[in-house]
A and B are shown apart, each in its own frame.
Chain A
Amino acid sequence: EPEVTQTPSHQVTQMGQEVILRCVPISNHLYFYWYRQILGQKVEFLVSFYNNEISEKSEIFDDQFSVERPDGSNFTLKIRSTKLEDSAMYFCASGGLVLAEQYFGPGTRLTVT
């Protein structure tokens, strides 16, 4: 069964460094998303991407964040200069057009020290 994959599973970085989180969505899906979950808190929406552009973003998704679909299969989230409060589990999701069900990847745990 097709699934969303994410790499790496765990990333440790120092404050101020840039990180890129990678996702491979399900191949025939058209909508792509990033969410995050800070330990012990709700899953929060960051951004959605459709037709090679951002379709919606939350107030969390500021200028430090960017997304890209560089090659038609990968979907990446870049954090330009990480802060301690960026430590969280980051989930990628993808969805089709008809039912609009979202399928989530296993997540990347980002630890900023």
Chain B
Amino acid sequence: KQEVTQIPAALSVPEGENLVLNCSFTDSAIYNLQWFRQDPGKGLTSLLLIQSSQREQTSGRLNASLDKSSGRSTLYIAASQPGDSATYLCAVRRQETSGSRLTFGEGTQLTVNP
């Protein structure tokens, strides 16, 4: 059974700092991995999708990497801003089919202080 773990559970940084969020998964046979942002009481916003054959994806100040063989992904946020404050979720999809379920981690709650 796939287990997804995110470290740290919470992170508080001053504005402008670069930071790294970590995600690990137990079964390396994944189809893809998605990073989401969740604001309090709100839905999930997809930030980046990395296919299993890719090593990284970039969108603006966000860069996600994937090391499938070691079961790890990182989300790098450059020059953090108070508006980045949210919970960041990592989720993986099994290999068998493109329509299969996402398995989520517990999330990292990020606070960026002005």
A-B contact pairs, 18 of them (CB 8 A): A30-B99, A43-B91, A43-B102, A45-B101, A45-B103, A48-B100, A55-B99, A55-B100, A56-B99, A56-B100, A56-B101, A91-B44, A95-B98, A101-B49, A102-B46, A102-B102, A103-B46, A104-B36
The answer to whether A107 and B43 have CB atoms under 8 Å apart is: yes
The answer to whether A91 and B43 have CB atoms under 8 Å apart is: yes
Most buried by A among B49, B91, B101, B105: B101
The answer to whether B99 and A48 have CB atoms under 8 Å apart is: yes
Residues of B at under 8 Å CB distance from A?
Answer: 31-32, 34, 36, 41-46, 49, 51, 89, 91, 93, 97-107
The answer to whether A43 and B44 have CB atoms under 8 Å apart is: yes
Which residues of the partner chain A approach B98 to less than 8 Å between Cβ atoms? 31, 95, 97, 100
The answer to whether A104 and B44 have CB atoms under 8 Å apart is: yes
Q: Which of A30, A42, A58, A105 contacts B43 (CB 8 A)?
A: A105
Within A31-60, which residues are at the interface with B (CB < 8 Å)? 31, 33, 35, 42-45, 48, 50, 55-56, 58
Say which size band chain A's interface belongs to: 20 to 34
